Amino acid sequence: MNNITFREATINDAKFISSIHVLSWKKTYKKTLPASMLDNLCMKNKEQFWMNKIKNKSNIYVVTKDGIVQGFCSLSFDQPKRMCILNSIYVSPKIERNGFGSVMMKNIIIYSKAAKINKIELGVLESNTNAILFYRYFGFKKNDTSKYININKIKIKESAMFLLI
């Protein structure tokens, strides 16, 4: 993969990040969440959300090809527990399964090791089987905890996964 970079997000990336976020939700959760909810997702609101996160130095990273954002991820770190929490990872639905998610995950693992982190945790909706398979490919395992989360007053089961590094 030529001209691929993984870097910290800038304010200029917020528009692309919000677009990927909204389009990914519309594609991934169309059988899980009501169409009315997905139709009401607003890129402008998401853009402001991601701008604020980026301004606050919230560990948002993007993967680009030829300078164009193809995906993003959001991390948080719990240094006392030596743990990285993968809050989100999305690739543009237009180019899924072209290695951009793998580029991000490999870099997340590298960054975590460099920060002396020994565990990466994440939550994933049980209905998102493609994501679960992706995480398993990288060695993530489900732990024994799952919970129901509310998304727009809809209860959805979320599983916790982890990777020891």
Res. 3: pLDDT tops 70? yes
Burial of 21 (0-12, 13-18, 19+ CB in 10 A): buried
Domains of the chain from N-terminus onward: 4-164 (3.40.630.30)
Res. 32: pLDDT tops 90? no
Residue 11 has a CB neighbour count (10 Å cut-off) of 10
Type of residue numbered 105:
M
- Distance, in Å, from the CA atom of 126 to the CA atom of 21, rounded to the nearest integer, reads 19
- Distance, in Å, from the CA atom of 110 to the CA atom of 61, rounded to the nearest integer, reads 13
Phi, psi for 69 (deg, rounded to 5): -65, 125
Q: What is the pLDDT of residue 1?
A: 56
- Average of pLDDT values for 130-137? 97
Res. 153: pLDDT tops 80? no
Res. 64: pLDDT tops 60? yes
Res. 78: pLDDT tops 60? yes
Residue 45 has a CB neighbour count (10 Å cut-off) of 12
The two beta strands, 60-65 and 68-78, are antiparallel
Beta bridge partners of 74: 60, 88
Res. 73: pLDDT tops 70? yes
pLDDT tier for residue 8 given thresholds of 50, 70 and 90: very high
User: Mind listing the pLDDT tens digit for each residue in 90-116?
Assistant: 999 998 888 999 999 999 999 999 999
Best CA proximity match to 111, nearest among 103, 123, 99, 100: 103
Phi, psi for 115 (deg, rounded to 5): -90, 10
Report field, pTM of the whole predicted structure over 0.85 = yes
pLDDT tier for residue 63 given thresholds of 50, 70 and 90: very high
